[in-house]
Amino acid sequence: MKINKGTAAFTLIEVLMSLVVVSIIIAGVMPTVIESFKIINQSAQENQQVLESEGQVQSKIPTNETFTGSIFPVKFKNENLDTIDVKGSLIKSTTSEANYITFLADRPYIKLNPYVLVEGYKPLSAGYDPSELLVDAYNTNFSSELTELNIYDKNNNDILSSFYSLDSIDENPTAPLDDRAFIELSSGLTNAFSPYTVEMITERDESIEAEEPQIVKAKLDILLPNFIAAGDSGRTVVSADGDYWVNRDITSTNKINSVLKGNEEFLLLGDNGRINILADEEDWNSITLPVDYTQLSSDFNLNSGIYYTEEDDKKYELVSNFGVFINNINNSGWSLNPDVPVYKTNVTELNDKSSLYFDNKKNSINTELSDALAGDNRAIFMVLQPEDSAEILFDINDYFINQNSGEQMTLLRNSENKLQLKIDQDSYLLTDEVVNNDQAYLITINMTGPSLTNIDLYINGAETTNTITNDQNINTQAKKIFFGNNFKSNKQFSGHIAEFIIYNKMLSASELDAINNYLLQKFDISAVSGTAPTDLSNIVNWLDAEYLSSVSNDDKIYSLQSSDMRKGNTYSFENEALNSITLANISNSQIMVAVGDNGIILRKENDENWSFIRSNINESLNEVVYSSQLGKFIAVGSKSGNTLIKISDDGHSWNDITLTSIDTDRILSSITSYDADDSTTLIAVGDSSSNNDSIILYSTDGENWSEYSSNTDNNLKDIDFKKINEEIVYVVVGDNDPINNEDAVILYSTDGQSWIEYNSGVYDDSLNGIGR
């Protein structure tokens, strides 16, 4: 026997230690292995149960057997021998034998009642109708202990739980419901974040193992409000029914004058050319009208408007305190109406000759040159008769269109009545001669080069003595000339302008004399003889008041359009504000009527130009409506501070309505007209007086009016109506009363005669407009 002495053997101790280590490892691993076998066995049993259940279903299918109520019991072999009833349907084949081919389990789902709310709704809680949001559930397993509620907005953000609560759950409601939940909901959900998702989550019972809870969802839509009321400082409230109001303020502090409902959006029209828009499923969007400075100043205010469709076009027409129209077609942007009415009084007060009269308010004329003044040479002739406070005579100016460049050439009259020709803030020419009030003058400028030293200025044909301060070159690229009041510089002109001619070239001495003498003779300024211009090729602008029309009295009003210019294009602004506009379809014709201050009435039929009607300069017309049932326009306002109602069949000829048994010491601010199938309701509202509460008048024909109590002395600003659940709801808004600590007033009525006041929550501002 040979012994291998190089191999070491295990000792007894080493063997024992190895057994101990192996035992420890086995002791640690074995429970996991055993548990794994248990899980595998349980899964196998569950799969067997599912397969057995499926087998039972399949065994019934060939014999056309079904289960009561389409419920199939699936038994799980846990400790309690629980079963789950699975609702579903046995699906038939399309063959004539109509054998069942499979079983389709029903999915759990919920329905909301109501599933649509209108923004500004009353809270869904005790004391209101509906008092709760019902969740009707099918194929669910709601539990008071295991079911939770979540609500998300359209951006999938979980809204604050303070807006809602799960009040209770009925686990045994009337069939076919499986469950019913009751949700309380505050009034804070808005259309801007709609649709909302209502989610019910039910955790599984511990006795039945499942990886996920049961989750069911449904959509809750919030529509745009039925009413929006807005006013000073952007204060805005909304309502679904007119008698409960919810704050909906805008971040802008701009004053809002009226509310207009358009194409799935509300437009809040305000001061400074500002429009705040609340569109369907969008939040507030604010825009300022992008118009140049001739159309926009710090007090350019939007007063009212209409929305209408014409063929396939969707249109807005807005009116402003400058008497101009702003329109928008198919959301293509806002612009000055191309056929804006331009009205100036053409009188015979400048040496008994025709002239355009300007007061010292807001009226001005903007003329566009037929060719730009692109060279260093030009000649200007102007016949005028200034009155007291006439500061600015004309303004050749592109600077306000492009704030960084452009020409400025402005002829002013200073406090000493001397003429000042400015080319910028610090560069100007000043005459020694004066231009006095209430006298006719011909002012001539002949420019022979690029700077002030190249300018010769004449008054009544005589050259002036001038002083020049800070001479520099003129940036000659102007395309527009402005007469009247300058909104940017806040300088005024009052008086008469009879004629204005501008040449795009330097004139010779003989040419200057010929035109000077012609104008001096024409307007009886001096007894000289001259020649009227015959070659118009170098004239880029010629405004001639006599060219408009012959006149016989001071009340003649003209529509000054491009066709009224001898050369050039023009539009201007009437100083009277336009307060309201309406539209009527009469005998296949579309007629628009707008009304405003100082008795101004404008009328437009189809595609014709606006025609001007002045009812009475002592009248102020605040709103106009049309009743299709009556076939009449009705306008309301005041005349010399007293109550005024006017009526017209065609918008052209108007009659005043005599009010009997009504104190007419109050101004009417607004009117609304509701045409039913066989009747009309007209309601007009307005101010209070020292002797009477705020006025509310009611009529069914526009001619006979009755007064009903408003029970408030807060001035009423606007009225509107809407049919809600087959009932007409009228809502009036108006002033607050800070002295008596009263909120802005909101009145509510369903008949136009009995009025209830509701809390607006607007305690520090007035509400000026309401729309629906």
Between 625 and 79, the higher pLDDT residue? 625
Q: Which amino acid is at 32?
A: T
Average pLDDT over residues 110-114: 94
Model confidence band, residue 366 (pLDDT cutoffs 50, 70, 90): low
* CB-CB contact of 87 with 71 (8 Å): yes
pLDDT digit string (tens) for 34-84? 666 566 565 555 555 555 555 655 555 444 444 444 455 554 444 555 555
Residue (of 463, 451, 456, 467) closest to 409 by Cα position: 451
> Is residue 557 over pLDDT 50?
no
Model confidence band, residue 222 (pLDDT cutoffs 50, 70, 90): very high
Quote the pLDDT of residue 5.
45
Tell me the CB-side half-sphere exposure of residue 558, using CA atoms within 13 A: 28
Model confidence band, residue 696 (pLDDT cutoffs 50, 70, 90): very high
Same fold, 109-223 and 346-573: no
Q: Which fold has domain 346-573?
A: Jelly Rolls (2.60.120)
Dihedral sign for Cα 95, 96, 102, 107, please.
positive
Token look-up 């009833």 returns 85
* CB-CB contact of 525 with 440 (8 Å): yes
> Is residue 593 over pLDDT 90?
yes
* CB-CB contact of 176 with 196 (8 Å): no
Q: Which amino acid is at 550?
A: S
Quote the pLDDT of residue 716.
97
Quote the pLDDT of residue 241.
94
> Across the chain, what does the average pLDDT equal?
81
The SS3 assignment for 173 reads coil
pLDDT digit string (tens) for 267-279? 999 988 889 999 9
The β-bridge relationship of strands 147-152 and 196-202 is antiparallel
Assign domain 299-341+575-766 to a CATH class. mainly beta
Between 650 and 363, the higher pLDDT residue? 650
Quote the pLDDT of residue 564.
61
> Is residue 617 over pLDDT 60?
yes
Strand ranges (E), 640-739: 642-648, 655-656, 668-675, 680-686, 696-699, 706-707, 716-724, 727-734
Report CA 474 to chain centroid distance, whole Å: 42
pLDDT digit string (tens) for 654-669? 999 999 899 999 999 9
* CB-CB contact of 120 with 222 (8 Å): no
pLDDT digit string (tens) for 720-738? 999 999 999 999 999 988 7
Quote the pLDDT of residue 610.
75
Quote the pLDDT of residue 89.
63
The β-bridge relationship of strands 214-223 and 116-118 is parallel
Rounded to an integer, what distance in angstroms lies between the CA atom of residue 136 and that of residue 182?
9
Q: Count other C-beta atoms under 10 Å from residue 254's C-beta.
A: 21
Residue (of 669, 705, 709) closest to 686 by Cα position: 669
Cα first-last separation, the chain: 117
* CB-CB contact of 577 with 323 (8 Å): yes
> Is residue 565 over pLDDT 90?
no
Rounded to an integer, what distance in angstroms lies between the CA atom of residue 431 and that of residue 411?
11
User: What are the structure tokens assigned to 555, written together?
Assistant: 């009340």
Model confidence band, residue 487 (pLDDT cutoffs 50, 70, 90): low
Rounded to an integer, what distance in angstroms lies between the CA atom of residue 51 and that of residue 588?
75
Asked which of 88-102, 213-227, 552-566, 594-608 is least confident by mean pLDDT, the reply is 552-566
> Is residue 477 over pLDDT 70?
no
Report CA 19 to chain centroid distance, whole Å: 88
Asked which of 93-107, 342-356, 359-373, 390-404 is least confident by mean pLDDT, the reply is 93-107
Quote the pLDDT of residue 422.
87
Give me the residue spans of the domains in the chain.
19-105, 109-223, 299-341+575-766, 346-573
Instruction: Say whether domain 109-223 belongs to CATH 1.10.3090.10.
Output: no
The percent of residues in the chain predicted with pLDDT above 90, rounded, is: 44
Quote the pLDDT of residue 327.
86
Contacts of 566 (CB under 8 A, 6+ apart): 536, 539, 542, 543, 544, 547
Rounded to an integer, what distance in angstroms lies between the CA atom of residue 765 and that of residue 583?
31
> Is residue 129 over pLDDT 80?
yes
> Is residue 115 over pLDDT 90?
yes
* DSSP-assigned letter for residue 252: -
> Is residue 282 over pLDDT 50?
yes
Residue (of 76, 73, 94) closest to 85 by Cα position: 73
Rounded to an integer, what distance in angstroms lies between the CA atom of residue 36 and that of residue 30?
10
Rounded to an integer, what distance in angstroms lies between the CA atom of residue 569 and that of residue 581?
27
Asked which of 102-116, 249-263, 284-298, 724-738 is least confident by mean pLDDT, the reply is 284-298
Cα 558–563–569 angle (5° rounding)?
A: 105
Quote the pLDDT of residue 71.
54
Q: Which amino acid is at 119?
A: E
Average pLDDT over residues 642-660: 95
Asked which of 60-74, 146-160, 445-459, 580-594 is least confident by mean pLDDT, the reply is 60-74
pLDDT digit string (tens) for 284-343? 998 887 654 344 445 678 999 999 988 888 999 998 887 778 888 888 888 766 555 444
> Is residue 403 over pLDDT 50?
no
Average pLDDT over residues 257-269: 93
Average pLDDT over residues 170-184: 92
> Is residue 388 over pLDDT 90?
no
Rounded to an integer, what distance in angstroms lies between the CA atom of residue 727 and that of residue 444?
69
Rounded to an integer, what distance in angstroms lies between the CA atom of residue 83 and that of residue 106?
17
Quote the pLDDT of residue 191.
95
> Is residue 400 over pLDDT 50?
no
* CB-CB contact of 304 with 257 (8 Å): yes
Asked which of 103-112, 193-202, 416-425 is least confident by mean pLDDT, the reply is 103-112
pLDDT digit string (tens) for 453-471? 999 999 999 999 999 999 8
Between 296 and 696, the higher pLDDT residue? 696
Quote the pLDDT of residue 559.
41
Average pLDDT over residues 596-625: 84
Average pLDDT over residues 250-274: 88
Rounded to an integer, what distance in angstroms lies between the CA atom of residue 2 and that of residue 651?
138
Quote the pLDDT of residue 81.
52
User: What are the structure tokens assigned to 621, written together?
Assistant: 């017309």
β-strand partners of 502:
380, 541
Tell me the CB-side half-sphere exposure of residue 38, using CA atoms within 13 A: 6
β-strand partners of 261:
266
pLDDT digit string (tens) for 133-142? 999 999 888 9
Q: Count other C-beta atoms under 10 Å from residue 306's C-beta.
A: 17
Model confidence band, residue 539 (pLDDT cutoffs 50, 70, 90): confident
Helix (H) or strand (E) holding 21: helix 12-60
Between 253 and 686, the higher pLDDT residue? 686
